[in-house]
Amino acid sequence: MNYQIPFFQHDLGEEELESLRRVLQGPILTTGKTVSDFEALFADYMGNRYCVAVTSCTGALHLSLTALGIGPGHEVITTPMTFIASSTAILQAGAKPVFVDVEENTGNIDLSRIPAAITDRTRAILPVHLYGQMVDMTTLHGISKKYNLHVIEDAAHCIEGVREGVKPGQLSDTACFSFYASKNITCGEGGAIVTNDKSLAERLKLLRHHGMNKTAADRHVEGYRHWDMIQFGWKYNLDNLHAALLIPQLKRIESNWRKRQAIADRYRELLEGVAGVRVIGIPSPLTHANHLFPIRVDGSIRDKVVQKLINQGVGVVVNYRAIHLLSYFSEQFGFKAGDFPIAEKFGNEVISLPMYPNLPLSSVERVVEAVRTAVAV
């Protein structure tokens, strides 16, 4: 496809190259000081005490569940309106995802429906801050305390989000982030876990690296000492090269957020006058991370509108079709149309428009004109 206005463009450049060069000039390519520097900076930005950097958000979710003792025989309550990874991580841990329908105006998990989904096998709630709009973690925290459940946040869209003074991770066991190619900060593939729980952070560090009590970087500092495998673990450690790409982006995170906020404001302003298009609501008080800019159109024309926009050179995608109706989930678990009607309707109507810090406001105007034309016919 030849997009005049692509769906996403990263903004990595000279600073990232310089940061990479410094790692290449040193001896440690794998997990070492660059990773721990990133972890300290990211924990600080997120207002959490600890950060454990890993190779993906999927891995971050899987490790969080496992480190909290969640596995076979357990259920985890989550949303069907998300990327599949929120649920495949639960399956990787050996537990069962239990879906709860979403709020009509945000697409986030409907907290009022959670109590009815709790059974004696439920161990955790896994909310997703869809598009960057935070779930009401204060209310969710109340529910999790009342029923004695863990909370693991899928904050892949929500590095910069704040709600009632609360950031991801601050009222839960862990929050998990993605640095996948199109996320707000990126190293191609990467992820992180933040937590305020010291012993949990230590378990996560062991579990991300084979359950080994020493790393290659330790050998470089201390010389060779026998290491031990003290637990069964996985191979999810982020390396210095990827961490090097992330560090400079943390310095730009607020200015890039402000640019996306201006884009979102402009989209909202211009779309107000477009018949047949709804923007997705934002309850206040809240700082939206503005990861994606989704609109909703009538479900009967959505796929045609997507095609027309692409034909006009505007990069759009669908985030997401309700995951319980994807072949694997419906075949494995017997889900069918009508099980989570609000998520299904949402997933049939939503379209994500181009959104990234360096998208010119003139392009925002062109996108909205293209949407107006596509919806009208």
Ligand X SMILES: *Cc1c(COP(=O)(O)O)cnc(C)c1O
Q: How many residues bind ligand X (CB under 6 A)?
A: 14
The one catalytic residue among 183, 205, 259, 308: 183
Residue 92 as a binder of ligand X (CB under 6 A): the answer is no
Binding residues among 312-351 for ligand X as defined by CB under 6 A: none
Which of the stretches 35-43, 83-91, 237-245, 323-331 binds ligand X when contact is defined by CB under 6 A?
A: 83-91
38, 180, 267, 356: which one binds ligand X (CB under 6 A): 180
**CA 260/CA 249 separation, integer angstroms:** 15
Residue 192 as a binder of ligand X (CB under 6 A): the answer is no
Residue 355 as a binder of ligand X (CB under 6 A): the answer is no
Which CB sits closer to ligand X, 108 or 215?
A: 108
**CA 369/CA 194 separation, integer angstroms:** 41
Which CB sits closer to ligand X, 157 or 308?
A: 157
Residue 58 as a binder of ligand X (CB under 6 A): the answer is yes
Q: Least separation, in Å, of the C-beta of 126 and ligand X?
A: 10
Residue 57 as a binder of ligand X (CB under 6 A): the answer is yes
- Note if 198 is an active site residue: no
Q: Which residues pair with 350 in a beta bridge?
A: 296
Where would I find the beta strands (DSSP E) of 68-220?
75-78, 96-99, 122-126, 150-154, 162-163, 174-178, 191-195
Which of the stretches 56-64, 90-98, 133-141, 268-276 binds ligand X when contact is defined by CB under 6 A?
A: 56-64
Which CB sits closer to ligand X, 178 or 256?
A: 178
Pairing of the two strands 75-78 and 293-296: unpaired
**Cβ–Cβ under 8 Å, residues 180 and 190:** yes
64, 78, 82, 237: which one binds ligand X (CB under 6 A): 82
Q: Least separation, in Å, of the C-beta of 135 and ligand X?
A: 12
Which CB sits closer to ligand X, 156 or 217?
A: 156
Reading across the β-sheet that carries 278-279, which strands appear in turn?
A: 278-279, 293-296, 350-353
**Cβ–Cβ under 8 Å, residues 326 and 343:** no
Q: Least separation, in Å, of the C-beta of 230 and ligand X?
A: 27
Phi-psi region of 228 (alpha: psi -120 to 50; beta: other; left: phi over 0): beta
Q: From the CB of residue 298, how many other CB atoms can be counted at a distance below 10 Å?
A: 13
**CA 267/CA 113 separation, integer angstroms:** 32
Q: Is 216 exposed, middle or buried (0-12, 13-18, 19+ CB in 10 A)?
A: middle
Residue 56 as a binder of ligand X (CB under 6 A): the answer is yes
**205: CB partners within 8 A, 6+ apart:** 52
Q: Least separation, in Å, of the C-beta of 57 and ligand X?
A: 3
Binding stretches for ligand X (CB under 6 A): 56-58, 82-83, 85-86, 128, 154, 156-157, 178, 180, 191
Catalytic residue ranges: 183
